[in-house]
Amino acid sequence: MARDTAGGTGTESTRTGVGARLAAVRALLSPRTEAERERRRVAVMSLPYFVLAIFGAFLPLGMLARMSLSENQFRNEGFSLDAWETLATEPVYREIAWNTLWFATVTTTFSVLVAVALSHALAKYDLPFRRWIVAMVSFPIALPGIVVGFMIVVLLGRTGLLTNAVAFFTGGSRIDLATALTVGGLFLGYAFSLIPRATMVLRGTFEEINTDAEEAARALGASPLLTFYHVTLPQVWPGVVAAFVLTFRTALAIFGTVLVLPALNVATLRINLEIQDLGFNLAVASAMGLVYFVFIFGFTFAGVRLIDNESLKI
């Protein structure tokens, strides 16, 4: 039955464009076959999401594009490429792009590596309180970036626990030893947010591994390292790629942590600066936001092509 109508729509599409479109609208409004009814259901069920996405995201993004071309900071007037020219010519923006990309790449790679070890241990080892370990690893996902920044201050700030401990044992000055506001401190802040997310993605993949092959390799004399490299890793590779894609996106979008620990000038911090402190530079902020959005969007869709949708879990 469904096949018949699928053939039917095939012939419909050879009609003129307007006629085919009218027929499609007619089929949505008053479906005659089960396939048409199904299509209407899909449309109705997706409608609320798309209403939210259109008013919440697509229209505002369109406005963002318009704003970046406006002559006036407060109204959309005229046409001017000033904001884009500023973005393309001033060296500070190139530096921001470079900072954002290298820092996100380094922190993501580190976090995914740690997450592979963590999910391996959670899936394979007989750990006590396994459920509580999972809860503790996922706990930081709920923390907003500013709280993550505060966590790093608690560990490594001037009154931080580790700073004080090191100062106590070495006799150094606490102010010199504090590393929370350095790039190293920010690195740990990013890792604090990213390791849990990467682990949650990989945990799903590790749960689905076929353990027979691993056991066979071990029984035939391969060492654990060789077994992991030749048998386990190829099986979890799609999950590793998915974790990298999702974690990299998250790393690019981090804002609160870098607001509390402003060690590196990254894109989110700069967008905030353009709006709050450097005056109300909406045109430049819009242009930056647009570049930023297009990059993340393009990266995600390119990344998703490498993986199957099953691995995409947050």
Partner 1 sequence: MSSETQQDKQVESAVEAGRQRRGGLHRLDVSATVGRPVVKLVLGVTLTFLMLPVFVTLIASFGTTWTGTLPRGFVNLENWRTVLGLAEGPGVRDGVITGLGYSAGLATAGMLVNIVVGVPIAYSLVRYDFFAKDIVNTLAILPIVPGVVLAVAFLRMYPEQGGSTLGLIVGYALLKSPFMILTVQSSLQSMNLQRVEESARSLGASWTRTFLTVIVPNARSGIVAGCIITWTLAAAEFNFTYMVHSAGPRPFSLFLYQNISRAPVLQGAAAVSVYFLIVTAVILILQTTGKAGFTTVERK
**Nearest distance from C-beta of residue 47 to partner 1, angstroms:** 8
Which residue in 20, 33, 105, 120 binds partner 1 (CB under 8 A)? 120
- Residue 265 touches partner 1, criterion: CB under 8 A: no
Stretch that binds partner 1, among 10-18, 79-87, 98-106, 284-292 (CB under 8 A): 284-292
- Residue 309 touches partner 1, criterion: CB under 8 A: yes
**Nearest distance from C-beta of residue 120 to partner 1, angstroms:** 6
- Residue 17 touches partner 1, criterion: CB under 8 A: no
Which residue in 1, 18, 29, 220 binds partner 1 (CB under 8 A)? 220
Say how far apart CA 127 and CA 119 lie, in whole Å.
12
Q: What angle, 0 to 180 degrees and rounded to 10, lies between the N-to-C axes of helices 59-67 and 282-306?
A: 130
Token pair for 81: 């490429």
Closest CA to 291 of 68, 1, 80, 119: 68
- ∠ CA 115-117-119, rounded to 5°: 65
Cβ proximity to partner 1: between 102 and 237 the closer is: 237
Cβ proximity to partner 1: between 191 and 241 the closer is: 191
Cβ proximity to partner 1: between 14 and 309 the closer is: 309
- Residue 117 touches partner 1, criterion: CB under 8 A: yes
- Residue 304 touches partner 1, criterion: CB under 8 A: yes
Return the SS3 of 137.
helix
Long-range CB contact pairs, 191-194, < 8 A, 24+: 191/107, 191/110, 191/111, 191/114, 192/140, 192/148, 192/151, 192/152, 192/257, 193/140, 193/143, 193/145, 193/148, 193/250, 193/254, 193/257, 194/107, 194/108, 194/111, 194/247, 194/250, 194/251
Binding residues for partner 1, total number by CB under 8 A? 115
Closest CA to 310 of 195, 204, 197: 204
- Residue 223 touches partner 1, criterion: CB under 8 A: yes
**Residues 13/21, Cβ–Cβ less than 8 Å:** no
- Residue 64 touches partner 1, criterion: CB under 8 A: yes
Which residue in 203, 242, 243, 248 binds partner 1 (CB under 8 A)? 203
- Residue 217 touches partner 1, criterion: CB under 8 A: yes
Stretch that binds partner 1, among 12-20, 90-98, 99-107, 268-276 (CB under 8 A): 268-276
- Residue 54 touches partner 1, criterion: CB under 8 A: no
Backbone φ and ψ for 69, nearest 5 degrees, come out as -105, 10
Cβ proximity to partner 1: between 101 and 249 the closer is: 249
Stretch that binds partner 1, among 15-23, 56-64, 84-92, 100-108 (CB under 8 A): 56-64
Say how far apart CA 84 and CA 69 lie, in whole Å.
8
Say how far apart CA 105 and CA 251 lie, in whole Å.
8
- Residue 59 touches partner 1, criterion: CB under 8 A: yes
Q: Which residue has the tokens 């998915």?
A: 242
Residue 295 C-alpha from the chain's centroid: 12
- Residue 56 touches partner 1, criterion: CB under 8 A: yes
- Residue 200 touches partner 1, criterion: CB under 8 A: yes
**Nearest distance from C-beta of residue 102 to partner 1, angstroms:** 18
Binding mask 141-180 for partner 1 (x = CB under 8 A): xxxxxxx-xxxxxxx-x-x-x--xx-xx------------
**Nearest distance from C-beta of residue 178 to partner 1, angstroms:** 12
Say how far apart CA 30 and CA 11 lie, in whole Å.
20
**Nearest distance from C-beta of residue 239 to partner 1, angstroms:** 11
